[in-house]
Amino acid sequence: MVRPGALGDAVLTLPALAALLATGAQITVVGDRRSWGFLAPEDRRVRIADVESPAWRGLFAEDGFPPEYAPALRSFAGAVLYLGSGRDRAHRALAAAGLGLVVGATPIRNQEAATEHAAERLLRPVAEQGGRIWDLEAARVAAAALLTVPERERVEAWRALGAGPPVEPVLALHPGSGGTAKRWPLERFAALAALAVRRWRMRPLVLIGPAELEAEARIRSQVAAQGAIVAAGRPVREVAALLSGARAYVGNDSGVTHLAGTLVPSLVLFGPTDPAIWRPLGPAVRVIGGGGTMASIGVAEVTSALSALLGQPPP
Protein backbone atom coordinates (compact mmCIF):
# COMPACT_ATOMS: atom_id res chain seq x y z
CA MET A 1 0.00 0.00 0.00
CA VAL A 2 1.60 3.26 -1.14
CA ARG A 3 0.23 6.08 1.01
CA PRO A 4 2.52 9.06 1.56
CA GLY A 5 1.22 12.05 3.48
CA ALA A 6 0.62 13.47 6.93
CA LEU A 7 -1.10 12.02 10.00
CA GLY A 8 -4.63 12.77 8.83
CA ASP A 9 -3.97 11.04 5.51
CA ALA A 10 -2.84 7.92 7.34
CA VAL A 11 -5.84 7.82 9.69
CA LEU A 12 -8.26 8.24 6.79
CA THR A 13 -6.68 5.17 5.16
CA LEU A 14 -7.39 2.90 8.14
CA PRO A 15 -10.75 1.56 6.88
CA ALA A 16 -9.08 0.40 3.64
CA LEU A 17 -6.19 -1.09 5.61
CA ALA A 18 -8.61 -2.95 7.88
CA ALA A 19 -10.49 -4.38 4.89
CA LEU A 20 -7.26 -5.79 3.49
CA LEU A 21 -6.10 -7.16 6.84
CA ALA A 22 -9.40 -9.02 7.22
CA THR A 23 -8.34 -11.26 4.32
CA GLY A 24 -5.34 -12.46 6.33
CA ALA A 25 -2.91 -10.39 4.28
CA GLN A 26 0.33 -8.94 5.57
CA ILE A 27 0.77 -5.37 4.38
CA THR A 28 3.73 -3.12 3.76
CA VAL A 29 2.66 0.52 3.91
CA VAL A 30 5.02 2.74 1.94
CA GLY A 31 4.67 6.18 3.48
CA ASP A 32 5.94 8.53 6.17
CA ARG A 33 6.96 6.56 9.27
CA ARG A 34 6.03 9.43 11.58
CA SER A 35 2.51 9.65 10.15
CA TRP A 36 1.89 5.94 10.69
CA GLY A 37 3.47 5.83 14.13
CA PHE A 38 0.11 5.47 15.92
CA LEU A 39 -0.10 1.77 14.99
CA ALA A 40 0.77 -0.69 17.74
CA PRO A 41 4.44 -1.65 17.23
CA GLU A 42 3.73 -5.26 18.17
CA ASP A 43 1.20 -5.71 15.32
CA ARG A 44 3.35 -7.70 12.88
CA ARG A 45 0.69 -7.75 10.16
CA VAL A 46 1.65 -4.22 9.08
CA ARG A 47 5.15 -3.03 8.26
CA ILE A 48 5.86 0.64 7.58
CA ALA A 49 8.46 1.37 4.90
CA ASP A 50 9.91 4.83 4.26
CA VAL A 51 8.70 6.15 0.91
CA GLU A 52 11.91 8.22 0.71
CA SER A 53 14.19 5.19 1.06
CA PRO A 54 16.28 3.99 -1.92
CA ALA A 55 14.24 0.77 -2.07
CA TRP A 56 11.13 2.69 -3.18
CA ARG A 57 12.53 5.53 -5.29
CA GLY A 58 11.75 3.54 -8.40
CA LEU A 59 8.06 4.28 -7.87
CA PHE A 60 8.61 7.82 -9.11
CA ALA A 61 11.73 7.44 -11.27
CA GLU A 62 11.43 8.00 -15.01
CA ASP A 63 12.85 4.55 -15.79
CA GLY A 64 11.16 2.73 -12.88
CA PHE A 65 12.91 0.21 -10.63
CA PRO A 66 16.36 -1.21 -11.34
CA PRO A 67 16.16 -4.85 -12.57
CA GLU A 68 17.62 -6.21 -9.33
CA TYR A 69 14.53 -5.00 -7.43
CA ALA A 70 12.13 -7.12 -9.50
CA PRO A 71 12.33 -10.37 -7.44
CA ALA A 72 11.47 -8.56 -4.20
CA LEU A 73 8.58 -6.68 -5.82
CA ARG A 74 7.16 -9.86 -7.38
CA SER A 75 6.94 -11.35 -3.88
CA PHE A 76 3.97 -9.03 -3.24
CA ALA A 77 0.50 -10.29 -4.19
CA GLY A 78 -0.50 -6.83 -5.36
CA ALA A 79 -0.35 -3.11 -4.66
CA VAL A 80 -2.76 -0.34 -3.77
CA LEU A 81 -1.65 3.14 -4.82
CA TYR A 82 -3.04 6.22 -3.12
CA LEU A 83 -1.28 8.87 -5.15
CA GLY A 84 -2.11 12.01 -7.08
CA SER A 85 0.00 13.07 -10.04
CA GLY A 86 2.53 10.26 -9.54
CA ARG A 87 0.03 7.43 -9.65
CA ASP A 88 0.37 6.53 -13.35
CA ARG A 89 4.17 6.47 -13.18
CA ALA A 90 4.15 4.31 -10.05
CA HIS A 91 1.66 1.94 -11.69
CA ARG A 92 3.91 1.55 -14.74
CA ALA A 93 6.98 1.00 -12.55
CA LEU A 94 5.34 -1.80 -10.55
CA ALA A 95 3.82 -3.45 -13.63
CA ALA A 96 7.18 -3.36 -15.42
CA ALA A 97 8.78 -5.03 -12.38
CA GLY A 98 6.30 -7.91 -12.69
CA LEU A 99 3.66 -7.03 -10.12
CA GLY A 100 0.41 -8.32 -11.59
CA LEU A 101 -2.37 -6.64 -9.57
CA VAL A 102 -2.13 -2.88 -9.09
CA VAL A 103 -5.21 -0.85 -8.07
CA GLY A 104 -5.71 2.49 -6.36
CA ALA A 105 -7.43 5.84 -6.08
CA THR A 106 -6.49 9.50 -6.20
CA PRO A 107 -7.00 10.96 -2.70
CA ILE A 108 -9.38 13.90 -2.38
CA ARG A 109 -7.68 17.27 -2.04
CA ASN A 110 -9.04 20.25 -0.08
CA GLN A 111 -9.89 22.29 -3.16
CA GLU A 112 -11.73 19.42 -4.85
CA ALA A 113 -15.52 19.54 -5.12
CA ALA A 114 -16.07 15.96 -3.97
CA THR A 115 -19.37 14.23 -3.21
CA GLU A 116 -18.04 11.48 -0.92
CA HIS A 117 -16.10 11.18 2.31
CA ALA A 118 -12.33 11.14 1.83
CA ALA A 119 -12.04 7.71 3.49
CA GLU A 120 -14.79 6.28 1.29
CA ARG A 121 -12.80 7.03 -1.85
CA LEU A 122 -9.78 5.25 -0.39
CA LEU A 123 -11.87 2.23 0.58
CA ARG A 124 -13.44 1.76 -2.85
CA PRO A 125 -10.51 0.01 -4.61
CA VAL A 126 -10.40 -2.67 -1.89
CA ALA A 127 -14.08 -2.72 -0.89
CA GLU A 128 -14.64 -6.26 -2.26
CA GLN A 129 -12.08 -8.38 -0.49
CA GLY A 130 -12.19 -11.94 0.83
CA GLY A 131 -15.74 -12.47 -0.38
CA ARG A 132 -17.06 -9.53 1.65
CA ILE A 133 -18.31 -6.18 0.39
CA TRP A 134 -17.22 -3.49 2.83
CA ASP A 135 -19.09 -0.26 3.43
CA LEU A 136 -17.40 2.62 5.20
CA GLU A 137 -19.07 2.10 8.58
CA ALA A 138 -18.21 -1.61 8.73
CA ALA A 139 -14.62 -0.86 7.72
CA ARG A 140 -14.41 1.92 10.32
CA VAL A 141 -15.48 -0.47 13.07
CA ALA A 142 -12.89 -3.00 11.93
CA ALA A 143 -10.23 -0.28 11.81
CA ALA A 144 -10.87 0.68 15.45
CA ALA A 145 -9.12 -2.53 16.51
CA LEU A 146 -5.89 -1.16 14.99
CA LEU A 147 -5.86 1.66 17.54
CA THR A 148 -6.21 -0.09 20.87
CA VAL A 149 -3.88 1.31 23.54
CA PRO A 150 -3.07 -0.70 26.68
CA GLU A 151 -3.15 0.96 30.09
CA ARG A 152 0.62 0.67 30.52
CA GLU A 153 1.13 2.89 27.47
CA ARG A 154 -1.22 5.52 28.88
CA VAL A 155 0.74 5.57 32.15
CA GLU A 156 4.04 5.79 30.25
CA ALA A 157 2.72 8.65 28.10
CA TRP A 158 1.78 10.68 31.19
CA ARG A 159 5.12 9.84 32.78
CA ALA A 160 6.88 11.21 29.70
CA LEU A 161 5.17 14.55 30.45
CA GLY A 162 6.51 14.48 33.99
CA ALA A 163 3.12 13.74 35.50
CA GLY A 164 0.86 10.91 36.51
CA PRO A 165 -2.62 10.47 35.04
CA PRO A 166 -4.84 13.21 36.57
CA VAL A 167 -7.52 12.18 39.03
CA GLU A 168 -9.93 14.55 37.26
CA PRO A 169 -11.48 13.69 33.88
CA VAL A 170 -9.31 15.02 31.07
CA LEU A 171 -10.46 17.40 28.35
CA ALA A 172 -8.00 17.16 25.45
CA LEU A 173 -7.65 20.28 23.31
CA HIS A 174 -5.73 20.75 20.07
CA PRO A 175 -5.64 24.41 18.96
CA GLY A 176 -3.58 23.72 15.84
CA SER A 177 -4.03 22.68 12.24
CA GLY A 178 -1.94 22.61 9.09
CA GLY A 179 -3.56 25.83 7.85
CA THR A 180 -4.16 29.03 9.81
CA ALA A 181 -7.63 29.44 8.25
CA LYS A 182 -8.66 26.20 9.96
CA ARG A 183 -7.65 27.33 13.48
CA TRP A 184 -10.19 28.51 16.05
CA PRO A 185 -8.79 31.57 17.89
CA LEU A 186 -6.45 30.51 20.68
CA GLU A 187 -8.06 32.78 23.27
CA ARG A 188 -11.36 30.94 22.71
CA PHE A 189 -9.69 27.60 23.41
CA ALA A 190 -8.38 29.16 26.63
CA ALA A 191 -11.88 30.38 27.54
CA LEU A 192 -13.28 26.90 26.89
CA ALA A 193 -10.58 25.35 29.08
CA ALA A 194 -11.39 27.77 31.92
CA LEU A 195 -15.08 26.93 31.71
CA ALA A 196 -14.40 23.18 31.69
CA VAL A 197 -12.33 23.55 34.86
CA ARG A 198 -14.91 25.70 36.61
CA ARG A 199 -18.08 23.91 35.52
CA TRP A 200 -17.09 20.26 35.15
CA ARG A 201 -13.85 20.02 37.18
CA MET A 202 -12.01 18.74 34.13
CA ARG A 203 -8.24 18.92 33.63
CA PRO A 204 -7.26 20.45 30.27
CA LEU A 205 -4.62 18.64 28.24
CA VAL A 206 -3.35 20.82 25.39
CA LEU A 207 -1.71 19.02 22.48
CA ILE A 208 0.79 20.96 20.38
CA GLY A 209 1.82 19.40 17.09
CA PRO A 210 4.69 20.20 14.71
CA ALA A 211 2.69 22.92 12.94
CA GLU A 212 2.25 24.87 16.20
CA LEU A 213 5.65 24.48 17.83
CA GLU A 214 6.64 28.03 16.86
CA ALA A 215 3.66 29.28 18.91
CA GLU A 216 4.29 27.00 21.90
CA ALA A 217 5.22 29.81 24.32
CA ARG A 218 2.07 31.75 23.42
CA ILE A 219 -0.13 28.68 23.77
CA ARG A 220 1.36 27.84 27.17
CA SER A 221 0.80 31.38 28.42
CA GLN A 222 -2.84 31.32 27.33
CA VAL A 223 -3.69 28.09 29.16
CA ALA A 224 -1.41 28.36 32.20
CA ALA A 225 -4.10 29.93 34.36
CA GLN A 226 -6.33 26.89 33.83
CA GLY A 227 -3.71 24.49 35.17
CA ALA A 228 -3.49 22.83 31.77
CA ILE A 229 -0.98 20.10 31.05
CA VAL A 230 0.80 20.76 27.76
CA ALA A 231 2.12 18.00 25.51
CA ALA A 232 4.30 19.51 22.78
CA GLY A 233 5.90 17.64 19.89
CA ARG A 234 5.24 14.17 21.34
CA PRO A 235 5.48 11.01 19.20
CA VAL A 236 2.15 10.15 17.64
CA ARG A 237 1.83 6.86 19.55
CA GLU A 238 2.14 8.83 22.81
CA VAL A 239 -0.50 11.26 21.57
CA ALA A 240 -2.81 8.31 20.87
CA ALA A 241 -2.21 7.01 24.39
CA LEU A 242 -3.03 10.39 25.94
CA LEU A 243 -6.15 10.76 23.83
CA SER A 244 -7.38 7.27 24.65
CA GLY A 245 -7.59 8.16 28.34
CA ALA A 246 -9.39 11.49 27.88
CA ARG A 247 -13.06 12.06 28.64
CA ALA A 248 -13.54 14.25 25.56
CA TYR A 249 -11.66 16.15 22.88
CA VAL A 250 -12.12 19.50 21.11
CA GLY A 251 -10.05 20.45 18.09
CA ASN A 252 -9.85 21.90 14.62
CA ASP A 253 -9.82 20.03 11.31
CA SER A 254 -6.37 18.40 11.61
CA GLY A 255 -4.51 15.10 11.68
CA VAL A 256 -4.61 14.96 15.48
CA THR A 257 -8.38 15.43 15.31
CA HIS A 258 -8.77 12.51 12.90
CA LEU A 259 -6.81 10.39 15.35
CA ALA A 260 -8.90 11.65 18.29
CA GLY A 261 -12.17 10.82 16.55
CA THR A 262 -11.28 7.13 16.55
CA LEU A 263 -10.31 7.10 20.24
CA VAL A 264 -12.43 9.53 22.28
CA PRO A 265 -15.75 11.45 22.06
CA SER A 266 -14.77 14.42 19.89
CA LEU A 267 -16.12 17.85 19.05
CA VAL A 268 -14.62 19.12 15.79
CA LEU A 269 -14.59 22.76 14.67
CA PHE A 270 -14.70 23.35 10.93
CA GLY A 271 -14.09 26.58 9.04
CA PRO A 272 -13.47 26.63 5.27
CA THR A 273 -13.29 22.85 4.81
CA ASP A 274 -16.32 20.63 4.29
CA PRO A 275 -17.16 18.23 7.14
CA ALA A 276 -19.11 16.00 4.74
CA ILE A 277 -15.72 15.14 3.17
CA TRP A 278 -13.29 15.60 6.08
CA ARG A 279 -15.32 14.72 9.18
CA PRO A 280 -13.28 12.38 11.43
CA LEU A 281 -14.56 8.83 11.58
CA GLY A 282 -15.60 7.66 15.02
CA PRO A 283 -18.51 6.45 17.12
CA ALA A 284 -18.96 9.78 18.97
CA VAL A 285 -18.03 12.72 16.74
CA ARG A 286 -19.92 16.03 16.70
CA VAL A 287 -19.21 18.80 14.20
CA ILE A 288 -19.64 22.58 14.34
CA GLY A 289 -19.29 24.83 11.31
CA GLY A 290 -18.08 24.11 7.81
CA GLY A 291 -17.83 26.33 4.76
CA GLY A 292 -17.26 29.52 6.76
CA THR A 293 -14.68 31.13 9.00
CA MET A 294 -13.42 29.92 12.36
CA ALA A 295 -14.01 33.37 13.86
CA SER A 296 -17.75 32.86 13.34
CA ILE A 297 -17.81 30.02 15.90
CA GLY A 298 -18.45 31.37 19.39
CA VAL A 299 -17.41 29.97 22.76
CA ALA A 300 -21.04 29.61 23.84
CA GLU A 301 -21.84 27.46 20.79
CA VAL A 302 -18.87 25.20 21.46
CA THR A 303 -19.66 24.96 25.16
CA SER A 304 -23.24 23.94 24.43
CA ALA A 305 -22.10 21.25 21.98
CA LEU A 306 -19.49 20.00 24.43
CA SER A 307 -22.14 19.79 27.16
CA ALA A 308 -24.22 17.53 24.90
CA LEU A 309 -21.18 15.41 24.06
CA LEU A 310 -20.42 14.97 27.78
CA GLY A 311 -24.05 14.31 28.65
CA GLN A 312 -24.03 17.34 30.95
CA PRO A 313 -26.71 20.02 31.41
CA PRO A 314 -26.12 23.03 29.13
CA PRO A 315 -24.46 26.04 30.75
d(CA 107, CA 105): 6
Q: Is the pLDDT of residue 159 over 90?
A: yes
What is the enclosing helix (H) or strand (E) of 289? Answer: strand 285-289
pLDDT at 163: 83
pLDDT at 315: 66
Q: pLDDT digits over 239-267, tens only?
A: 999 999 999 999 999 999 999 999 999 99
pLDDT at 254: 95
For the stretch 107-143, what's the b/e string if a residue is b when 16 or more beta carbons lie within 10 angstroms of its beta carbon?
A: bbeeeeebeebbbbbbbbbbbebeeeebebebbbebb
pLDDT at 8: 96
Cα 111 to Cα 105, 124, 134, 218, distances in angstroms? 17, 21, 27, 31
pLDDT at 113: 79
d(CA 32, CA 37): 9
* Parts of the chain belonging to CATH 3.40.50.2000: 151-310
pLDDT at 225: 80
Q: What percent of the chain has pLDDT over 70?
A: 99
Judge whether 180 and 215 are in contact, CB under 8 Å: no
Judge whether 14 and 35 are in contact, CB under 8 Å: no
Q: What is the pLDDT confidence band of residue 3, given thresholds at 50, 70 and 90?
A: very high
pLDDT at 164: 82
Mean pLDDT across 9-38:
96
- How many other C-beta atoms are found inside a 10 Å radius of the C-beta of residue 220? 14
pLDDT at 116: 93
Cα 23 to Cα 18, 82, 203, distances in angstroms? 9, 20, 42
Q: What is the pLDDT confidence band of residue 142, given thresholds at 50, 70 and 90?
A: very high
Q: Is the pLDDT of residue 314 over 80?
A: no
Q: What is the DSSP code (8-state) at residue 195?
A: H
Q: pLDDT digits over 79-115, tens only?
A: 999 999 899 999 999 999 999 899 999 999 877 778 8
pLDDT at 215: 84
Q: Helix and strand tally (H, E) in the chain? A: 13, 12
> CB under 8 Å to 25, separation ≥6 — which residues?
45, 77
Give me the architecture of the 151-310 domain, per CATH: 3-Layer(aba) Sandwich (3.40)
Alpha helices in 169-250 (DSSP H): 186-200, 216-223, 236-244
Lowest mean pLDDT among 151-155, 208-212, 250-254: 208-212
For the stretch 226-248, what's the b/e string if a residue is b when 16 or more beta carbons lie within 10 angstroms of its beta carbon?
A: bebbbbeebebbbbbbbbbbbbb
Judge whether 249 and 264 are in contact, CB under 8 Å: yes
pLDDT at 144: 94
Mean pLDDT across 285-303:
95
